[in-house]
Chain A
Amino acid sequence: MEAIKTVGLTKYYGKARGVENLDLTVEQGEFFGFIGPNGAGKSTTIRTLLGLIAPSSGSASVLGMDVTKDRTAILRETGYLPSEAVFYGGMRVREVLKLSADLRGRDCAAEAARLCERLQLDPTAKVGALSYGNRKKVGIVCALQACPKLLILDEPTGGLDPLMQREFFNILRERNEAGTTVFLSSHVLSEVQRNCARAAVIRAGRVVACDSVEALASAGAKRVTVHGAVDLSGLEGVRDRKDVGEAVSFLYSGGMEALLKTLAAGQVTDLNISEPDLEELFLHFYEGGAEQ
């Protein structure tokens, strides 16, 4: 059974596009990255999965349950960390965590205490007086304390210092190894590349690529840097070309033979062929180079 499945999911806010014909499948037990620029439709997708908004057309299911019909049952199995965690003013951290547990009808005091200790969160602090990062920690504990089957995390690391980010991802990896599906929405590529096994890239409301992080990063493309004089005009599959002095650097997704022939025909003094990182790929998707 898929943890998340959307088929032709479309959401319009009046005339404004949220997502359009979005197809996405996340298997249970995956650590899945969801990457895209601001306004691409990441939050719209997440809000639909959580039943906060209803799809305009298409369908979406979470853990095999329909997002419009089985909202409460889905939420029982799902922990959600919003990008901007806001709580009721005047309450203490401990009270917010207790409220969240009570709303789930669970006693999560022991797990909450463990998480607070690992994240160095003071349960007696007033939530109104907390910094952005500490509010984020309250959101993290709320999402994780009931040990849900699925974690949906929207820009989870904003405000967390590097040490805390590391501890947070340690916790997520432990949960993932224990069987929890993690759906991580982010525009911080390095954290997706480091932590996720598979990822989808969303741009302008559509999934433009979905594959393992390794495959996405290479996507058949190599970063080629050539020093010397070569004529690339006849070569197919060249993009993101940068000319620096006598060197030329480009992403290449064509056949190796064609590349070697072209290089052999020129005057090459130095050559470097490497795997591109996700960042490069991501910028490429941002710039709309590939509508796959």
Chain B
Amino acid sequence: MTIVKHELRLNRVAFWIWSGVLAFLLAVCVFLYPEMKGEMDQMGDLFASMGSFTEAFGMDKLNFGTLIGYYAVECGNTLGLGGAFFAALTAAAALCGEERNKTAEFLLTHPVSRTRIAAEKLISVLLRMVAMNLVVFAVSAASVAAIGEEIPWKELCLLHLAHCLMTLEIAGICFGLSAFLRGGSAAVGLGVAVLFYVMNLFANITEKLSFLKYLSPFAYCDGGSIVADGKLDWPKVAIGLGIAAAAVIAAFWYYPRKDIH
């Protein structure tokens, strides 16, 4: 586990910045809730009457008057996009970052198989994703308690579980791409995250493109459905994790064969 430890140590600053900022933003949202509560009913009417815009952001199924309704939208915006970007940037740089930073010649000339390097790097990426989600979840739950509201455990857990799965899926896909890239991993990673986000928006707006919901992990993070159904959309989760697993397998197949320049 030398490489896992080394990776966690090397990336600890980026991890704490991303986790801290996302947790802080969600905490701010929660602390704003008591103030917004009174105005929420009118705001809810407003949000509900924005036509396809409302649907695009999944606000048609939510009750803004409740804490969890409000939180589901904020969580989707902040942790959804922020988490996706963190996952994409982290995983896309995992393998090819060594080549870009010219440290590959150091790491890959030690007696460690490429498969083990890929495995330890993947473990380190996944650990950071889970840890980031746990930090954000803990701060959010504590913030809800701090404003004196009852913590809606079930919905809160489901929302954060969905977002955790999404970051794992995006991390898996970008990790797969990382094996094939040589440089420019940040652009590719962010591109993947934005593509999935836009795919979900389009899928929400028009029926014709609704099949995109099965491809974008943002679909199973839709706070409205999770709160309304009281469960995750497991078939979509399974498809997403399947795609991620395929990308990871491709990385493990290709990386040991890759020419390192």
Name A residues whose Cβ lies closer than 8 Å to a Cβ of B. Answer: 13, 47, 50-54, 71-73, 75-76, 78, 80, 82, 84-88, 90-91, 99-100, 102-105, 142
Contact = CB atoms under 8 A, between A and B. Distances in A.
Nearest to A76: B111
A99 B110 CA distance: 10
Given A86-B105, A87-B103, A102-B2, A75 B110 contact: yes
Given A72-B111, A72-B113, A52 B259 contact: yes
Nearest to B106: A87
If over half of B's interface residues share one DSSP class (helix, strand or loop), that class is named, otherwise mixed; here it is: loop
A59 B25 CA distance: 58
Given A86-B103, A90-B10, A102-B2, A53 B259 contact: yes
B113 A52 contact: no
B108 A52 contact: yes
Contact of B106 (A54, A76, A105, A142): A142
B6 interface: yes
- How many of chain B's residues touch chain A, expressed as a range? 20 to 34
Contacts of B259: 13, 52-54
A85 B106 CA distance: 8
A141 B114 CA distance: 23
B260 A88 contact: no
9 contacts: A50-B109, A54-B257, A82-B106, A85-B106, A99-B6, A103-B111, A103-B112, A104-B110, A104-B111
A84 B104 CA distance: 12
B110 A52 contact: no
Contacts of B37: none
Interface string B223-261: 000000000000000000000000000000000010111
A53 B111 contact: no
A82 B10 CA distance: 22
B6 A75 contact: no
B94 to A, nearest CB: 14
Contacts of B105: 52, 80, 82, 84, 86
A86 B112 contact: no
A100 B104 CA distance: 13
Contacts of B108: 50-52
Nearest to A81: B109
Contact of B109 (A75, A84, A88): A75
Nearest to B101: A86
Interface in B90-136: 101-114
A41 to B, nearest CB: 14
A47 B105 CA distance: 9
B14 to A, nearest CB: 11
Contacts of A100: 106, 110
